[in-house]
């Protein structure tokens, strides 16, 4: 009898321990399938930027050149569980699309592709750039990392599990390699960037400044930082004002009087606060002829939140 009672007590204790262990596992948060990007995830071909404490010091850089997430990512079929996690975390219904931010990771140690570029959403890998494209973008992304930056861009995600299996399509905003990172540094000092837009603004008079544009006139469209200045139009008898455009502090053209009226209100406010107005631009052409276009929002299209944060 004593043996039977002893066995029963042992069984009860074992059951209690098992139940407790199971309860603990349920309370522990599940870890993402892919860790947050750190040095070991990035290309080993470039040095790792670290801060004074030896911690990887990466800042995000929003890629230029495209505002529409229409560049196809591949490999979603191998990341089905990633979409389950993302949709569960954000309480999204299967079949619902969403827009967010993707991080492009130059992935070292990839046995399938030495130039692999991984696409992460919410610190979870959701796919890769196609192999033929990854090799074109990898040098630029490696260079960004060498400067302590990691590339981010807009992403569209659609996923469903209508038949019990997660299927997804991921697209990102990604311009040509020559467009996604500016070829020069932004002007120094206290600057305010006027937000980019889906429209471009043509600069005039570039033909008089081929010496300034030559370093950036490389055939393909090249992104550059420019500064914008409200000036009196040379030769004007009525004090007409226009927007002068400068690259690296040197004049490269101006906007027409009509187009200038769309930007002068915001430029004047920025200059009145003692700051410098800057914008994104692109140069295309060669040493004989080059065109400059601004990627900038009209003053009348700026939202009140941006105005309050930057002009007051």
278: exposed, middle or buried (C-beta count within 10 Å: 0-12, 13-18, 19+)? Answer: buried
- Considering only the C-alpha atoms of the chain, give the largest distance between any 2 of them, rounded to a whole number of Å: 116
Q: What is the pLDDT confidence band of residue 35, given thresholds at 50, 70 and 90?
A: very low
Mean pLDDT (the chain, rounded)? 84
Which comes out higher in pLDDT, residue 19 or 168? 168
pLDDT tens string 72-125: 999 999 999 999 999 999 999 999 999 999 999 999 888 889 999 999 999 999
The CATH fold assigned to 191-310 is Alpha-Beta Plaits (3.30.70)
| pTM of the predicted structure, to 2 decimals | 0.75
CA dist 223 → 32, 47, 63 (Å) = 36, 25, 11
Calculate what percentage of the chain has a pLDDT beyond 70. 82
CA distance 179 to 183: 9
Kindly tell me if the per-residue pLDDT of 34 is higher than 80: no
Q: How far is CA 184 from CA 105, 145, 210, 278, in A?
A: 23, 16, 17, 13
Picking from 30-39, 109-118, 142-151, 271-280, which range would have the lowest pLDDT averaged per residue?
30-39
Mean pLDDT, residues 155-175 taken together: 96
User: Is the per-residue pLDDT at 44 higher than 80?
Assistant: no
pLDDT band at residue 57 under the 50/70/90 scheme: low
pLDDT at residue 36 greater than cutoff 80 = no
Q: Where are the domains of the chain?
A: 39-172, 191-310
């Amino acid at each position: 009898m004593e043996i039977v009672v002893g066995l029963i007590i042992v069984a009860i204790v074992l059951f209690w321990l098992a139940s407790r262990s199971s309860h603990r596992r349920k309370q522990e948060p599940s870890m993402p399938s892919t860790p947050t990007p750190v040095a070991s995830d990035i290309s080993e071909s470039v040095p790792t930027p670290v801060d004074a404490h030896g911690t990887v010091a990466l800042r995000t850089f929003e890629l230029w050149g495209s505002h529409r997430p229409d560049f196809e990512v591949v490999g979603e079929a191998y990341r089905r569980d990633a979409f389950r996690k993302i949709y569960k975390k954000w309480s999204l219904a299967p079949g619902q699309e969403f827009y967010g931010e993707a991080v492009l990771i130059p992935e070292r140690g990839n046995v399938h592709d030495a130039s692999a570029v991984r696409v992460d959403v919410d610190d979870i890998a959701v796919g890769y750039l196609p192999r033929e494209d990854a090799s074109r973008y990898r040098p630029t992304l490696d260079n960004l990392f060498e400067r302590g930056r990691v590339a981010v861009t807009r992403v569209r995600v659609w996923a469903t599990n209508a038949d019990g299996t997660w299927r997804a399509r991921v697209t990102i905003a990604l311009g040509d390699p020559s467009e996604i990172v500016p070829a020069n540094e932004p002007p120094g000092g206290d600057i305010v960037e006027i937000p980019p837009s889906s429209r471009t603004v043509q600069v005039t008079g570039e033909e008089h400044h081929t010496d300034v544009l030559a370093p950036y006139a490389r055939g393909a469209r090249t992104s550059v930082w420019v500064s914008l200045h409200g000036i009196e139009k040379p030769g004007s008898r009525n004090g007409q004002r226009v927007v002068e455009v400068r690259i690296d502090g040197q004049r490269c053209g101006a906007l027409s009087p009509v187009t200038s009226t769309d930007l002068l209100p915001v430029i004047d406010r920025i200059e009145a606060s003692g700051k410098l107005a800057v914008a994104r631009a692109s140069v295309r052409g060669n040493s004989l002829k080059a065109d400059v276009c601004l990627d900038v929002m009209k003053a009348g299209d700026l939202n009140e939140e941006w105005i309050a944060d930057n002009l007051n």
